[in-house]
Amino acid sequence: MYSLKRTVYPLIIPVILIALSSAINIKWPDLNRQINDMRELRAIVAIMPLMPYLVLAFGFFMGWRYANAGIILGTLALTLSYYGLNFYHNPTVPLETVLDQSATDAMSLLLPLNLMLFSALVMRRLFTSIGIITTLLFVLQVLAVIIFCQPSNSIALRVDTAIRSLSPLAADKLSGTCRWLGAVLTDGSFLDFHGISTAAVAVSVLALVCVLLQFIKSQDIRACGFFFAIVAAMLGIIFKSSQPAVILYFMTAGLILVFTTIEASFSMAYIDEMTGLPGRRSLEEMMLNLGKKYAIAMIDVDRFKKFNDTFGHETGDQVLKMIASQLGKISGGARTFRYGGEEFTAIFAGKSLENAISHVEEFRKAVESRPFVVRDGERQRRDANHRGKTRILPRNQVKVTVSIGLASPTGFATRPDIVIKAADRMLYHAKKTGRNRTAY
């Protein structure tokens, strides 16, 4: 179910991390002068280049533990790109062993595309056909960069020499085509970017748009993580000449993937995916932390099984989402949960039974008065004479109601698990006495 809160919340931490990295990068000359005056801080700066490796390694093992092919391959791509950038710009490495500048250009083109591809694999296992094929494609890319982005004694030069010995004209045409393609892929003059080519910027924008659309559609925080990982990594490539931009931004990209993976695991455990409400585990934890004064409401959709049988499970899911959206508007400061099936729970912490009645009644009437339209193609009826066949009925408006059981601590029955059972008994009573009512 679409929720503005679920869309905006995942953006906060990644934006903060990228903003913090940018602030440190901008202020680094001043910070570096202060750090040089303190021996302890100098030791931290000395190990800074290792920090992205540690963060990305942690993300890699998290992805492995959760059998998440997207995170495994994403952290691996970031690690290799970070290593390549450091290797190319390391002045202590002999020039003849260093990858050519084209390696950086290749990474700036391939990294956003790979992260976009890997973002679609966050629910896939690595050792599946799709996971294995994607891994092989990634390995081929790495090998291609290593082979063709070498200095003047590279394999590419040897291939050109071999072709020239057979057909000089073909070699000249191939060489001219390669130079033109290289100029197109590495030229940054169009956007006046000196750290990244125009083609890489276009590819990055395309990758960001695709991942953003994926996040809006699925509201999966892991897609949001890949979006900001692409942003952070590309900032690291753009400002690679500004120390310590590569370290900060690639470490940030790793932290974002780690954070969103942890958050996704939390959501799976505590949030009901279909309705977006907290689930049974969240309810149980809240019940452990209630005080002495509270009221619990058990809410059930009336005749839900018959509704499912008549209109189909897809429409039944829409009903549950509608109830969840109404619960999000319930007054009285109630915390709402999906209890299971067509049952929901509302807890009014710090409120008596008498205080809670008006709020649950307001909610019940809101559900009753809200029209629910069964859309074309959804209203389905099955009966014994048409078993196995589906008859599509015209567009129709139906009435959805709920029954509510309400209870609060009384006498010796103060434990939340006892009170919720009492609320369940009241719910049963509300259904037995006519439905679409509140019993307490």
User: SS3 sequence, the chain?
Assistant: CCCHHHHHHHHHHHHHHHHHHHHHHHCHHHHHHHHHCCHHHHHHHHHHHHHHHHHHHHHHHHHHHCCCHHHHHHHHHHHHHHHHHHHHCCCCCCHHHCCCHHHHHHHHHHHHHHHHHHHCCCCCCCCCHHHHHHHHHHHHHHHHHHHHCCCCCCHHHHHHHHHHHHCHHHHHHHHHHHHHHHHHHHCCCCCCCCCCCHHHHHHHHHHHHHHHHHHHHHCCHHHHHHHHHHHHHHHHHHCCCCCCHHHHHHHHHHHHHHHHHHHHHHHHHHECCCCCCECHHHHHHHHHCCCCCEEEEEEEECCHHHHHHHHCHHHHHHHHHHHHHHHCCCCCCCEEEEEECCEEEEEEECCCHHHHHHHHHHHHHHHHHCCEEECCCCCEECCHHHCCCCEECCCEEECCCEEEEEECCECCECCHHHHHHHHHHHHHHHHHCCCCCEEC
Of all residues in the chain, the percent with pLDDT exceeding 90 is 48
The tokens of 6 are what?
């679920």
Residue 415 has pLDDT above 70, yes or no: yes
Residue 311 has pLDDT above 90, yes or no: no
Q: What's the pLDDT score for residue 50?
A: 92
Query: What's the whole-number mean pLDDT along residues 408-429?
Result: 90
Name the band, by pLDDT with cuts 50, 70 and 90, for residue 189. low
Q: What's the pLDDT score for residue 395?
A: 57
Name the band, by pLDDT with cuts 50, 70 and 90, for residue 90. low
Name the band, by pLDDT with cuts 50, 70 and 90, for residue 94. very low
Q: Are 300 and 427 in contact (CB under 8 A)?
A: yes
Residue 343 has pLDDT above 70, yes or no: yes
Does pTM top 0.85 for this prediction? no
Query: What's the whole-number mean pLDDT along residues 177-187?
Result: 62
Q: Are 360 and 345 in contact (CB under 8 A)?
A: no
Name the band, by pLDDT with cuts 50, 70 and 90, for residue 43. confident
Give CA torsion, residues 343, 349, 355, 358, to 10 deg: -30
Return the domain boundaries, the chain. 4-270, 280-439
Question: Cα–Cα distance between 318 and 426 in angstroms, integer?
Answer: 26
Architecture category of domain 280-439 in CATH: 2-Layer Sandwich (3.30)
Residue 132 has pLDDT above 60, yes or no: yes
Residue 38 has pLDDT above 80, yes or no: no
Residue 390 has pLDDT above 50, yes or no: no
Q: What is the pLDDT of residues 285-304, one digit of tens each?
A: 999 999 889 999 999 999 99
Q: What's the pLDDT score for residue 100?
A: 55
Name the band, by pLDDT with cuts 50, 70 and 90, for residue 307. confident
Q: What's the pLDDT score for residue 97?
A: 45
Q: What's the pLDDT score for residue 276?
A: 86
Strand partners, 373: 397
Residue 143 has pLDDT above 80, yes or no: yes
Q: Are 275 and 320 in contact (CB under 8 A)?
A: yes
Query: What is the rounded average pLDDT for all residues in the chain?
Result: 83
Question: Half-sphere exposure of 404 toward its Cβ, with a 13 Å CA cutoff?
Answer: 27
Residue 185 has pLDDT above 70, yes or no: no
Name the band, by pLDDT with cuts 50, 70 and 90, for residue 145. confident
Residue 113 has pLDDT above 60, yes or no: yes
